[in-house]
């Protein structure tokens, strides 16, 4: 049975969104195709009408999520500025919501082990570095200095959220987040 193209596209979108959420919550290996399809309200059978393999889904889900999160970054930056973005990124809410959070904090270690995801992951990192180069405060003498500052900021942001998730002391986690935010805005 053929479905209208709009319905097929909507199903594809749901699969990408649920896969991205579940991958961020449990990692690539921690989620089966069946679980992803169940989360979308679909059966396992139609999966291969949308994707050639789980690896293809992982790569497309990362690319799609990257596009959406970078668009969010651009919107927040344009409307509210870098301080507002850092408030969101370096927040307890972000720490406590891995499934709705940054793909880098949730999937860096997994992407290092999955060749199919390394390209989309790398493209995302490059896009974030470019955005941070333009967004971070302070005067920079050369593009190389701005790039280095953006890389350092990205490493600090991802590291702060990762550490805040890993410690069993919420006050320490919040302190890590606050100190990182403050240093990035200095």
pLDDT tens digits along 95-146: 999 999 999 999 999 999 999 999 999 999 999 999 999 998 775 557 778 8
Tell me the mean pLDDT in the region 46-69: 96
176's enclosing H/E stretch is helix 170-185
Give the separation between CA 47 and CA 139, rounded to whole angstroms.
50
**Predicted confidence (pLDDT) at residue 87 exceeds the cutoff of 70:** yes
pLDDT tens digits along 170-182: 999 999 999 999 9
Reading the block at residue 83, the tokens are 């301080």
Using pLDDT thresholds of 50, 70 and 90, give the confidence band for residue 5.
Answer: confident
Give the separation between CA 85 and CA 132, rounded to whole angstroms.
11
Tell me how far apart the 2 most distant CA atoms of the chain are, in Å.
62
* Cβ atoms within 10 Å, residue 158: 19
Helix, coil or strand: residue 37:
helix
Nearest residue to 157 (alpha-carbon basis) of 99, 74, 73: 73
Tell me the mean pLDDT in the region 79-90: 96
**Predicted confidence (pLDDT) at residue 54 exceeds the cutoff of 70:** yes
Give the separation between CA 49 and CA 9, rounded to whole angstroms.
11
Using pLDDT thresholds of 50, 70 and 90, give the confidence band for residue 158.
Answer: very high
Predicted local distance difference test score (pLDDT) of residue 106: 97
- With beta carbons less than 8 A apart as the criterion, state whether 185 and 86 touch: yes
Give the separation between CA 10 and CA 14, rounded to whole angstroms.
6
Predicted local distance difference test score (pLDDT) of residue 113: 96
Give the separation between CA 117 and CA 128, rounded to whole angstroms.
17
């Amino acid at each position: 049975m053929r479905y209208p193209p709009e319905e097929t596209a909507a199903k594809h979108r749901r699969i990408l969104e649920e896969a991205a959420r579940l991958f961020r919550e449990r990692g690539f290996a921690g989620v089966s195709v069946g679980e992803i399809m169940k989360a979308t309200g679909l059966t396992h059978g139609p999966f291969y009408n949308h994707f050639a393999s789980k690896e293809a889904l992982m790569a497309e889900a990362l690319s799609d999520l990257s596009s959406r999160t970078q668009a969010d970054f651009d919107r927040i930056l344009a409307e509210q500025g870098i301080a507002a973005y850092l408030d969101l990124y370096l927040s307890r809410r972000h720490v406590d919501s891995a499934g709705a959070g940054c793909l880098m904090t949730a999937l860096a270690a997994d992407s290092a082990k999955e060749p199919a995801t390394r390209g989309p992951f790398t493209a995302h990192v490059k896009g974030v570095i470019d955005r941070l180069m333009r967004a971070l405060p302070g005067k920079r003498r050369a593009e190389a200095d701005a790039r280095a500052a953006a890389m350092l900021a990205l490493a600090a942001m991802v590291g702060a959220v990762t550490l805040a998730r890993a410690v069993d002391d919420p006050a320490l986690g919040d302190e890590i987040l606050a100190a990182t935010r403050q240093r990035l805005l200095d």
